[in-house]
Chains A and B, each alone.
Chain A
Amino acid sequence: MYEHMVKSRYYEDQMVEVYTEGKTPVFNIGAGPVPGEMHLSTGQEPAAAGICVHLTKDDTVTAPHRPHHHAIAKGVDLKKMTAEIFGKETGLGKGKGGHMHLFDPDAKFSCGGIVAAGIPHAAGAALASKMQGRDWVAVAFIGEGAANAGAFHESLNLAALWNLPLIVVVEDNSYGISVPKASSTAVASNDLRAAAYGIAGAYVKDNDPIAMYRASEEAVARARSGQGPTIIEIETHRYLGHFQGDPELYRDKAEVPGLRQLDPILKLRKMLVEAEGVTEKEIEKIEKQAKQEVDEAYQFARDSSYPEPESALKDVFTS
């Protein structure tokens, strides 16, 4: 879990740098090695790491537009993922998808740019698991803003009705772009909505990795044993803008340094050393390995070639 969180954080720190390359002096979103929108999840790592440790390769994960921490925690091929974000032919989607549209069937991971659209897909994966008599589960990650979309409510009703092994993890980072949760959501937290579907709900406070781990353990066990869906909402924080380049006029900039002091990675690190007796040396080894893996992925992406322009015409239909 710590490894996933560190890897994800370092990955995003690198992305902040790379994304800025070539975009100045006048910020131009389409320029540089990584064009298009870029949504980073720095600060939100516990949501993904806390549940994905309970998942196997056979479990399905769907993620939204802010997908890197989920992808890393689910074990998506980091090199291919990075190459995709660079638009290279060695990428997961041969450069056709980009950062919001990562598909790794080996890791059973997908994501997309339409808010809440991954929830029904996860429900479908859960349905497939049930129809095939497996104990596989499906996890849909969404933001708290997405919990107001029709797809959320329709999918959860369906999953409850059919008793599907679906877990919806709502990452409450307080904002849907600029709209604060209080202006978008009529209830205080989305686990309360579980009552509307007659399913289980759990709320994780303080972006706490351990509490997320525990709530997830329970939810995954429930789903695997055929006892139906769960909504987990976790209070988390997005340190960066909605997308890179977001002027963030909607929130007090002073909010973020305060949040960083509550950093979940530092918290987990401290706990591992103090309560679990993990040595500094062991921790550093994990950190070093994670960094190396990330560095290699970025290098791989840089070294890869762009696809031939004509390849844009391929893959409209699969063969």
Chain B
Amino acid sequence: METAKKRILTGNKAMAEAIALEMERDPNVFVLGEDIGNYGGIFGSTQGLIEKYGSQRVLDTPISETAFIGAAIGAAAEGMRPIAELMFVDFFGVCMDQIYNHMAKIPYMSGGNVRLPMVLMTAVGGGYNDAAQHSQTLYATFGHMPGMKVVAPSTPYDLKGMMISAIRDDNPVLFMFHKSLQGLGWMEQLEASAEHVPEEAYTVPLDKAKIVREGTDVTIVGVQMMTHYAVEAAERLAKEGIEAEVIDLRSIAPIDKDTIIQSVKKTHRLFVVDEDYKSYGMTAEVTAIVAEEVFYDLEAPPRRLANPDVPVPYSRPLEDFVIPSAEKIYEQVKELVNEG
């Protein structure tokens, strides 16, 4: 039975709580990154940690991503469980060697003899006109490279549960959180960025997609903001008699093929939406999975909606044009269903 009074947390607080609980449980867990101490993380993911655990376990670093992400790798190899924050995913460029040549490859190259139980968390997403070097999602860039789990939770509940799973996982996990879903005071306040989050430590698996809305006419696969937009579009479509099933992917790698396949078997139509670039991206991956596995179940060609392969522009009308919206999803899904 549910209690009457439910504690509401924003995405960032849910994340910070997850980290705090794990720091409490395991002295090997520590956090490092830029402005994660007194500032509490630019996106609030480490709020309150330094007050609780001090600057020995919550380490503000210089702007030296190669050094501190590499140091997290070295410490993880010694049995520590570091959580490093790369402030914006866009900055991966300066430290990618550490991420994909080392963090993601050492466990494999060592024949599984070296474990790197670390989390690299990073902010993704656009929507507030921060332009091409601060607005990317890059799910595909990281999903493409074997050797790390790549997750992208969409709700405060999942942010907490998946962060706890990520910290406890013996593999390197790239944990992407969406800026707009952190519930910060200086961004547009979205309903989706706050919800009831239980106090205790609980886990949410790192490899399972979630059906967030059941439907029979079309499967919409999305992640983070796009899932929320898809639900919005689905509610509108429902008023016109189209029942869309919406899948929140949650995990980019490994990708939960089963949930997608089962859904398409039921709905016979596929729509994939992504805030990332279209070519070689998540939409292509999901479409390919469906084409390979359940092609003959489809009643219409699959459709994809994503950033049209341009850097994210600054000006508002340009950014609005490039990033998928609930409106665009609504229109295109409607077309797709009416087509076939």
A residues apposed to B, CB below 8 Å: 26-31, 35-37, 84, 87-88, 91, 93, 95-98, 100-101, 112-117, 145-146, 148-151, 176-179, 183-185, 245, 249-250, 306-313, 316
Could you tell me if A149 and B38 are in contact, using CB atoms closer than 8 angstroms? no
> Which B residues lie within 8 Å of A114 (CB)?
90-91, 93-94, 133
B331 at the interface (CB under 8 A from A): no
Chain B residues with CB below 8 A from A101, complex form: 131-133, 314
Contacts of B64 in A (CB 8 A): 148-150
| Contact between B317 and A176, CB atoms less than 8 A apart | no
Contact A35 B313, beta carbon cutoff 8 Å = no
Contacts A87-B129, A150-B66, A184-B63; A96 near B38 (Cβ below 8 A): no
> Is B35 at the interface (CB under 8 A from chain A)?
yes
**At the interface with chain A, which of B182-190, B213-221, B262-270?**
B182-190
Provide the bound-state CA to CA distance between A30 and B127, in Å: 7
A151 partner residues in chain B, CB cutoff 8 A = 94
Do the beta carbons of A178 and B37 come within 8 Å of each other?
A: yes
Is the C-beta of B128 less than 8 angstroms from some C-beta in chain A?
Answer: yes
Of B242-250, B293-301, B304-312, the one with at least 4 CB within 8 A of chain A: B304-312
Smallest CB separation, B264 vs chain A (Å): 31
Asked if B170 CB lies within 8 Å of chain A CBs, one says: no
CB distance from A206 to the nearest CB of B (A): 25
* With A184-B60, A306-B317, A310-B321 already in contact, 17 other A-B pairs whose C-beta atoms are closer than 8 Å: A28-B128, A30-B129, A91-B315, A96-B131, A97-B132, A100-B133, A114-B90, A148-B63, A178-B38, A183-B62, A249-B38, A250-B38, A250-B39, A306-B316, A307-B318, A309-B317, A309-B321
Q: List 11 A-B contacts (CB under 8 A).
A: A28-B187, A87-B129, A149-B65, A179-B37, A179-B61, A249-B39, A306-B315, A306-B316, A307-B317, A309-B320, A313-B310
Given A87-B316, A100-B131, A313-B310: A30 and B62 within 8 A (CB)? no
A171→B110 CA distance, assembly (Å): 44
- Bound together, the chains give a CA A96 to CA B130 distance in angstroms of 10
The answer to whether the Cβ of B42 comes within 8 Å of any Cβ in the partner chain is yes
Does A316 contact B134, Cβ atoms closer than 8 Å?
no
Q: In the bound complex, how far is the Cα of B67 from the Cα of A184, in angstroms?
A: 12
A87 lies within 8 A of B187 (CB): no
Q: How far is the CA of A53 from the CA of B42 in the complex (A)?
A: 36
* A316 x B60 contact (CB < 8 A): no
Looking at the complex, which one of B35, B310, B318 makes contact with A316 (CB distance below 8 Å)? B310
B67 to chain A, nearest CB (A): 8
CA gap between A297 and B273 in the complex, in Å: 40
| Interface residue? B322 (CB, 8 A) | yes
**Binding site of B, secondary structure by majority: helix, strand, loop or mixed?**
loop
- B34 contacts partner chain A, Cβ-Cβ < 8 Å: yes
Complex interface bits, B25-68 against A, C-beta within 8 A gives 1, otherwise 0: 00000000011011100100000000000000000111111110
Looking across the interface, which residue of chain B has its beta carbon closest to that of A94? B315
User: How many Å lie between the Cα of A37 and that of B67 in the bound state?
Assistant: 26
- Which A residue's beta carbon lies closest to that of B39? A178
> Known interface pairs A96-B314, A101-B132, A309-B317. Does A178 touch B35 (Cβ–Cβ under 8 Å)?
yes
Chain B residues near A (Cβ < 8 Å): 34-35, 37-39, 42, 60-67, 90-91, 93-94, 127-134, 185-189, 308-311, 313-322
**In the complex the two chains form, is B62's CB within 8 Å of A28's CB?**
no
- Contact among A26, A31, A308 for B185, CB-based, below 8 A: A26
Write out the residue numbers on chain B whose beta carbons fall within 8 Å of the beta carbon of A35: 128-129, 316
> Which chain A residue shows the least CB distance to B318?
A312
- Expressed in whole angstroms, the Cα–Cα distance for A112 and B91 within the complex equals 12
Residues of B within 8 Å of A27, CB to CB, are 185-186
Of A112, A185, A307, the contact of B62 (CB 8 Å cutoff): A185
Which residue of chain A is the closest to B65 with respect to CB atoms?
A149
A310-B321, A313-B310, A316-B311 given; A37·B39 CB < 8 A: no
A249 and B185 CA atoms in complex are apart in Å by 14
Q: How far is the CA of A37 from the CA of B133 in the complex (A)?
A: 12
- Chain B residues whose C-beta falls within 8 Å of the C-beta of A117 in the assembled complex: 94
> Which 9 A-B residue pairings sit nearest by Cβ, starting from the closest?
A87-B315, A98-B314, A30-B128, A95-B315, A35-B129, A309-B321, A148-B62, A178-B39, A113-B133
Q: Does A176 contact B132, Cβ atoms closer than 8 Å? A: no
In Å, the complex CA distance between A26 and B193 comes to 15
In the bound assembly, the distance between CA atoms of A5 and B134 in angstroms comes to: 29
Point out the residues of chain A lying under 8 angstroms from B128, CB to CB: 28-30, 35-36
Closest to A87 in B: B315
Verify A183–B317 contact, CB threshold 8 A. no
State whether B94 touches A88 (Cβ < 8 A). no
For the complex, give the distance between the alpha carbons of A29 and B308 in Å.
Answer: 25
Contacts of B62 on A, CB cut-off 8 Å?
A: 145, 148, 176, 179, 183-185
Whether the Cβ atoms of B311 and A150 lie closer than 8 Å is no
Q: Which residues of A contact B90 (CB under 8 A)?
A: 113-114
Residues of B close to A100: CB separation below 8 A: 131, 133-134
Distance A31 CA – B316 CA, assembled complex (angstroms): 9
Cα(A49)–Cα(B66), bound, Å: 33
**Cα A117 to Cα B37 with chains together (Å):** 25
How far, in angstroms, from A316 to B322 measured CA to CA in the complex?
13
B318 engages A177 (CB within 8 Å)? no
Across-interface contacts of A185 in B (CB, < 8 A): 62
Say yes or no: B315 contacts A177, CB within 8 Å. Answer: no
Q: Which residues of A contact B38 (CB under 8 A)?
A: 178, 249-250
A36 touches B37 (CB 8 A): no
